[in-house]
Structure 1
Amino acid sequence: MTQVPRILALWSAPRSRSTAFLRMMAERGDRTVLHEPFSQLLDFGTTEVAGREVHSESALIAAIREESEKGAVFFKDTTDFWYGELLADTAFLRDATHTFILRHPAEAIASHFALNPNLQRDEIGFARLAEIYDAVHTATGTDPVVIDSADLVTAPAATVRAYCDAVGLPFVPEAVSWDPRMLPDWQRTSRWHEHTGRTTGFTDLATRYEHTVDNHPLLAEYLRFHLPYYQRLYERRTTQKSEATETMTAETMTGSNSLKIDCPACEGVIKHEDDLVVNEIIECGECRSELEVVSVEPLLVALAPEVEEDWGE
């Protein structure tokens, strides 16, 4: 059995739904959660770990180690910056459990550019993400855990369970949904996290951007550069969803015309008596998620999309 990690890290290119994943980890309540300590250090010149102010990557790593001696730690960070001291610290790359979350760069680039029209190629972060992945692989001799954020949207409970199994954490189904609020650690960079602060779970918000890789030549160039790094990591996903977890499946219950459906958000069982039609919206009575019927024969349902602004953080 995998040992429960004292230090668990999640690395992400910006705008890849990593803040929503951190929100889930905070909801668990079983470890100290640090929000982007490395990027805040590079951005502002200082960051805090449990009230301790640090001014260098080496001091930050030491503070995280010290905090982990008091209790388990989770931190998530983004690769809009390059972390030279992290990459040079083989012991930290080996001793902490470093994991990775992906989002297709076409989506991440459009989301990032909408917030930062001065976006530079390397700030998009997939090349730097792959560099950290390679450094962890070299230091540990093992393949780090990689998940794709699209799986979190289509099958949140199954994807989080697979992640937990891979890193040695108990799965906490209650943490897959939460009350909407901004966490205190988000205040410094609040404009990047406003939409996640309004969510109650892993939800796909169908956002249309004025500038995308399809209509903006510079963004298309950025995509050509970063796509190979994304594809290489995507192929190494260790928590791929199966066909059974991509959607909810339903079966006729013995002795009645009612249906039993497994909710993909909380894995609770929904009983439904009426005939259903494609695109109909039903609600899970346990987690209150809205679910869309995507097929009737066979009966398949998935989380209903919400049309809002992007929560790619």
Structure 2
Amino acid sequence: MALHGTFAHLFHPQRSNNHRARVLHPEAFLFFIGFAAIFGLALTTVPRVSHTAGQVLGFSSSITAGDVVARTNAERQKVGLPELRENEALSRAAQAKGTHMFANQYWAHTSPDGTQPWSFFKQAQYNYSVAGENLARDFSNASDMMQAWMHSPTHKANIVNQKYQEIGIAVIDGSLNGVETTLVVQFFGTPLAVVPQVPQVAAAQTEIGQELSETDRQAVGQADFSPTMLTIEQAEPLVVNTDDQTAEILGSEVLPVTQLTTPPLFSPLQLTKAFFLAIIFIVVVALAYDMLVMQHRQTARMVGKNFAHIMFFLLIAFLLIYFKSGVIA
């Protein structure tokens, strides 16, 4: 009975709550605000909760390198292009770029000290004829991230560029400008072609006035071609997005791509949405029930209209549900 009485005091208009659900009193909203502050503090101080089935809560998003590659190739197949091959050297280059951004605290294709993306290709010993880069941050899942890239003409041009043959992906968690985030680096490339070169055949040494025999001429004319790598120092990159943007971010530690195969079940953004939607649900139900009871009793009130409050909270809930985080560059 005590539980029933407490529940009635919180939600049912009666003498004990001055004929208005207790959860609709100003003190209740102060409690909700304090509870939300504690919840937000817990998200920022607790790095990760592990579970035997995998990560339950983590500041790393649910994005994995394999998922990004699969979705990229799916977009290419839609326009009749061949799939990109995943290249280990390109992935190392992408990992180095992401680590460099965290180490130097910047969010751009070119670092403040002038370091270009293509320098990471060289560090990974990936010799390319054409190359490109896409960047993303703050996305909780690969689907939303890919959708944002495909809605950007310059990023889409990289993804569906027929001149690219290989891809490398890095998904890295870290702190950028004091805020935790997840960075995704997508490198595209095509290795330098192997072309034959005519070898320099040394002139036949003969005695003065002596001509080459027919056999010698045939030997010189049939010399084998030795394939040699083109020595282009740096080819002009293809479409590269150069928008420099900053925004809100999520994540914790720098992890190798190979350690990101098991994503967390819940991201901080998902938990935050669920928390505030639960509070809104409680308030909306209380408002609706309070309105029905007062109409049934035919009681006049000198307070705001419950229906207007319900519409306001439903609007907030709609915005929470459809809000998507993430920035691309």
TM-score between both structures, scaled by the size of structure 2: 0.23
Which structure ranks higher in relative contact order (CA pairs < 8 Å, sequence separation ≥ 6)? 2
TM-score between both structures, scaled by the size of structure 1: 0.24
